Amino acid sequence: MAGIGRLSGLRRLGRDVHEARGVPKWILYSGLGIVAFFVILAIFSAQIAPYGFDQIAANGSPFPKQAPPSGAHLFGTTVQSTDVLSRVIWGSRTAIEVVVVAVALSLTVGVPLGLVSGYVGGKLDRGLVLIMDALFAFPYILLAIVIAFLLSSSIGQGIFTAAAAITVVYVPQYFRVVRNHVISVREEAYVEAARALGASRAVIIRRYVLSNVIQNVPVIATLNAADAILTLAALGFLGYGIQPTQAAEWGYDISRAVDDVGAGIWWTGLFPGLAIVLLVTGFTLIGEGLNDVLNPVIRYRRIRRPQIPPLEPEVSPLPAREREVVRR
């Protein structure tokens, strides 16, 4: 419970993860594996993908249009004559970039707001809670569409716009969780003690409150990463996301593929869709695994067998005659 130092919360998290056993451990590690796979795809897209994301020809000969999977194009080609496999790989770069920017932005906005609002209380708290609840009540995809729409007219469409739209939707979540935890923590004995000792508000928040509250954040961050990818794909599907000339994006590819379904062309939609399912599942597994491990209500700890030292003859300080008496 009590712990000081900024990162003690995270250190505790690390220890809990390390101690995890059984099903939660496997869930966590398989999630991490899947996400790591996509991160590698994202970082090394240029090396792994056979072609560029909008490449329509190679060595002078143009790619066939809507060709089924074959040796030259493992996942087939699209109506724009681009290679599906390459677009799926480049798409992971887009997805990871957007997730990183969105989660980073949401954290930098949501967590401090939650901390300050929860600790300081009063009118500021009430006002922020009202605004955040209003944002929370909005169906998230509607909000994301409207924000993406707006931003696209001022700063153009692209990674940042999509990430910003997602951030606006998720800041209330971080705010709410952090604030609630802060409210329960600020009445704890050690915080009162620190106050009595004359520590300033900033120090208390930083040293005592933040370190405790922060252990909730990774779970929400992973679950929000999962939702961020779904929101990005939804925006792309509706046409408010990233344009095909800027980067590959899985949701947009599916929106073009819907037209192909009627013609029996299945490869243009199946592979981007599977990529979304896999990556979102990966993040969710991490979140679920973390939750299993951290949530005191449902976790189990590894049971450490108590170490009972073996019986061994003692060298007693007492003289021989008294030793006889003691042993009886």
Partner 1 sequence: MSRQGSSLRTYLLTRVALAVPTVLILLTMVFLLMRVAPGNPIQAALGGHVSQKQIAIRSHRAGYDRPILEQYGDYLKGAVTGHLGTTLTDHRTIGNIIVENGSATLELAIAAFAIALAVGIPIGISAGRWRDTPVDIGGRLFGIVIYAAPVFFTGFLAQLLFGTALGWLPTSGRVGPITEFELSKPTHFYLIDSLVTGNWSAFSDVVLHLILPALTLGLLISGVIIRLVRVNMLQTMKGDYVEAARARGIRERRVVIHHAFRNALVPVVTVAGLQFATLLGGAILTEQTFNWPGIGAELVRYLNNRDYIAVQGIVTVFAIAVVVVSVLIDIINAFVDPRVRY
Partner 2 sequence: MGRIRGFAVAGAAVAALAVAGCGSSGTGGGGTIIRGTTDQPVSYDPAGAYDLPSYDVVYAVYQNLLTIPAGGNKPVPEAAQSCDFTDKTTYKCTLQSGDKFSDGTSLDSKDVKFSFDRNVKIASPTGASSLLTNLKSTSAPNPQTVVFNLKAPDATFPFVLTAASFAIVPADGPNAYPADKLQPSTKAVGSGRYTLASFKPGQQTVLEKNPKYSGADPAKNDRVFIQYFNTSSALKLAVQQGDVDIAYRSLTPTDLKSLQGASGVNIVAGTGTEIRYLVFNLGLQPGSSDAQKMAVRQAVAQTIDRQAIANRVYEGTVTPLYSMVPKGLQYADEAFKTQYGASPDVAAAKKTLQQAGVKTPVPLEVWWTPSHYGPSSGDEYAEIKHELDASGLFNVTLKSTEWNQYSTAAFTNKYPEFQLGWFPDYPDADDYTASFYAKTSFLNIGYDNPTMDKLLAQEKASTDSSVRAKDFAQIQKIGAQDAPTIPIWQGKQVAAVRNGISGVQETFDPSFIFRYWLITKG
Say how far apart CA 269 and CA 258 lie, in whole Å: 7
CB 289 within 8 A of CB 27: yes
Pick between residue 39 and residue 146 the one whose CB is nearest to partner 1: 146
Q: 309 burial class (0-12, 13-18, 19+ CB within 10 angstroms)?
A: exposed
When binding is defined by CB under 8 A, the residue of 24, 244, 287, 289 that contacts partner 2 is: 244
Pick between residue 85 and residue 229 the one whose CB is nearest to partner 1: 229
Task: Tell how far CA 24 is from the center of its chain.
Answer: 17
Q: What is the DSSP string of 153-193?
A: HHT-SSHHHHHHHHHHHHHHHHHHHHHHHHHHHTTSHHHHH
Residue 110 in tokens:
């949501």
Site string for partner 1, 170-209 (x = CB under 8 A): ----------------------------------------
Report if residue 65 touches partner 2, rule: CB under 8 A: yes
# residues near partner 2 by CB under 8 A: 23
- Which is it for strands 61-62 and 57-58: parallel, antiparallel or unpaired? antiparallel
Pick between residue 21 and residue 323 the one whose CB is nearest to partner 1: 21
Report if residue 66 touches partner 2, rule: CB under 8 A: yes
Say how far apart CA 275 and CA 45 lie, in whole Å: 14
Residue 166 in tokens:
């997602």
Say how far apart CA 252 and CA 246 lie, in whole Å: 12
When binding is defined by CB under 8 A, the residue of 58, 193, 239, 324 that contacts partner 2 is: 239
Report if residue 303 touches partner 1, rule: CB under 8 A: no
Pick between residue 4 and residue 258 the one whose CB is nearest to partner 1: 258
- Cα distances from 236 to residues 38, 94, 283, 320, in angstroms, run 19, 12, 20, 88
Q: For residue 50, how many other CB atoms are within 10 A of its CB?
A: 13
When binding is defined by CB under 8 A, the residue of 47, 59, 153, 307 that contacts partner 2 is: 153
What does the chain come to in residues?
328
When binding is defined by CB under 8 A, the residue of 79, 100, 135, 183 that contacts partner 2 is: 79
Report if residue 219 touches partner 1, rule: CB under 8 A: no
Report if residue 288 touches partner 1, rule: CB under 8 A: yes
Site string for partner 1, 87-126 (x = CB under 8 A): ----------------------------------------
Report if residue 56 touches partner 2, rule: CB under 8 A: yes
**Residues near partner 2, by CB under 8 A:** 54, 56-57, 65-66, 79-80, 152-153, 156, 239, 243-245, 256, 258-265
